[in-house]
A = this chain, B = another copy of it.
Amino acid sequence: MIFRQEFLTIKTKKRGFYLITDDILHTVNLKDIKTGLMNLFLKHTSASLTINENVSYEVWEDLENISSSLVPDGDKYLHYLEGKDDMPAHFKSSMFGVSLNIPISYGKLQLGTWQGIFLCEHRSNPSFREIVITVTGESDIFLNNRDI
């Protein structure tokens, strides 16, 4: 039985959807896990994590545009002292969520062909965003030695 925890910080440049699948896979070792689950948890309230299309940057821009069109920046919110983009960022964080759970089979994430993992930065300014990666699973010695 494996319980593994790693930490990853992503630097964002501005509001937008950032593909981080490879960052995750470079941070945590899944090779020795036969069957398991990976939990990703983002420690922030104005950004989020999601899974979506991993190739087309047009999809990433549309995801951002649609969410900002549903919850536009503005000073009409009760909470706006930190900027017109602050409260919409809080809402989007709850709409998309800050926690993902992805199954693992024979050392690999069970992502579909077109699925990638995204950090969604909902604030306008650059930021550092921390992610906790927790992996639980059943180990397999054969898998562990496969790549050695």
Instruction: Give me the interface of A with B, judged by CB distance under 8 Å.
Output: 1, 3-5, 34-37, 39, 41-45, 50-53, 56, 58-59, 61-63, 65-67, 70-71, 77-79, 87, 90-91, 93-103, 105, 110-115, 130, 132, 134, 136-138
Residues of B within 8 A of A34 (CB): 3
Q: How far is the CB of A97 from chain B (nearest CB, A)?
A: 6
Q: How far is the CB of A115 from chain B (nearest CB, A)?
A: 6
Interface residues of chain A: helix, strand, loop or mixed (majority): mixed
Residues of B within 8 A of A79 (CB): 56, 58-59, 62
Residues of B within 8 A of A5 (CB): 35, 103, 105
Residue of B nearest to A42 (CB): B112
Q: Would you mind naming 28 contact pairs between A and B with Cβ atoms under 8 Å apart?
A: A3-B34, A4-B35, A37-B134, A37-B136, A39-B101, A39-B103, A43-B112, A43-B115, A44-B115, A45-B53, A51-B94, A51-B97, A52-B93, A52-B94, A58-B77, A58-B79, A59-B90, A62-B77, A62-B79, A62-B90, A62-B91, A63-B90, A63-B94, A70-B71, A96-B97, A103-B134, A105-B132, A110-B132
